[in-house]
Amino acid sequence: MVDMIEFPVTGVSPYGIAAGQDGAVWFTGVHEGKIGRITVAGAHTLHDLASTDGQPSVITTAPDGTLWFTETRANLVSSITPAGELDSVATPGSGPYGIAAGPDGALWYTAMTTNAIGRIETGKAQEFPLPMDGGFPSFITPGPDGAMWFTLNQANAIGRVDADGRIESFPLPTESAAPVGMCAGPDDALWFVEIGAGQVGRIGTDGKITEYPLPNREARPHAITTGPDGACWFTEWGANRIGRIATGGDIETFPLPTAGSEPHGITTGPDDALWVALEHGAIARVTL
């Protein structure tokens, strides 16, 4: 049983979402060039970026409490403090998309255009080329083994990069699965969603992959996160739902209150609720 409430955020299209260390939730306004902050009570504020069409996409929290996010079209990896101070690191031509803080204290990102994995430390970006053409790296997350793990949307594989930039990849069993969202699970494995195949996948640090078909294979799952209940939760962009998968593979799905809400990012908030970015112009809070 879940309870959902939607908080409208007028004039912005929420896409990526992350829990801040300031007790609030932060999100990207992908089409407007804005970063938003919403309290657990639903009050929101918006911060304008330098470019209205830079396409702020995925957002994450750094160890020092700063929020980092990618501006895919502007070729920037940017940051905002809880006080609203903005800064950026240029990643020329790279098309940054996914981003996550690594166990080494650096920020790691996926470079879709340059087909690489990037690392930012002390304001400088370094990129590690992928060993295959057109991999289209998407989401990235730290693994339990001290490496960063990422989805390769067009290479139909999962990738791993260590702190020295050594990259390996693991092909998916299902053709044209097109993996996108990824998170570290509650079971020392990595969990991901396959937007092209309508499945959720699990990969152990040994490279073993298991796939779980969704009840609706046309649901277009997009993002995934570890929830407060020891399961993984994901968005179904094409079915207007969120879903839950237990570590044993049992799946439940739950419809969102508003039709056509376009759920994208999902995170566990500071209040132990799930928070979902709805591109139609709202943030949903889901209590379990």
- Average pLDDT by consecutive 10-residue portion of the chain (288 residues)? 94 97 98 98 98 98 97 98 98 97 97 98 96 97 98 98 96 98 98 98 98 98 98 98 98 97 98 98 98
Half-sphere exposure of 22 (CA within 13 A, CB side): 18
**Nearest partner of 117 among 171, 182, 68, 162, judged by Cα:** 162
All structural domains of the chain, each given as residue ranges with its CATH number in brackets, are 3-287 (2.130.10.10)
Contact 260, 241 (CB under 8 A): no
Task: Report the pLDDT value the prediction gives residue 1, as an integer from 0 to 100.
Answer: 76
Distance CA 227, CA 87 (A): 30
Calpha distance 141→41 (Å, rounded): 28
Any idea which residues carry the catalytic annotation? 264
Binding site for substrate: residue ranges? 222
Helix (H) or strand (E) holding 19: strand 14-19
Q: What is the pLDDT of residue 15?
A: 98
- From the list 113, 93, 112, 109, the residue with the least C-alpha distance to 101 is 109
Structure tokens at 91: 């990643």
Instruction: Determine the Cα–Cα distance for residues 211 and 177; give it in Å rounded to an integer.
Output: 10
d(CA 233, CA 228): 10
269-284 burial code (b ≥16 CB/10 A, e <16)? bbbebbbbbbbbbbbb
Beta strands in 106-239 (DSSP E): 107-111, 116-121, 124-129, 137-142, 148-152, 157-161, 167-171, 179-184, 190-194, 199-203, 209-213, 221-226, 232-236
pTM, two decimal places: 0.98
Q: Which residues are annotated as a binding site?
A: 222, 262, 279
pLDDT at 92: 95
d(CA 21, CA 2): 25
Strand partners, 183: 191
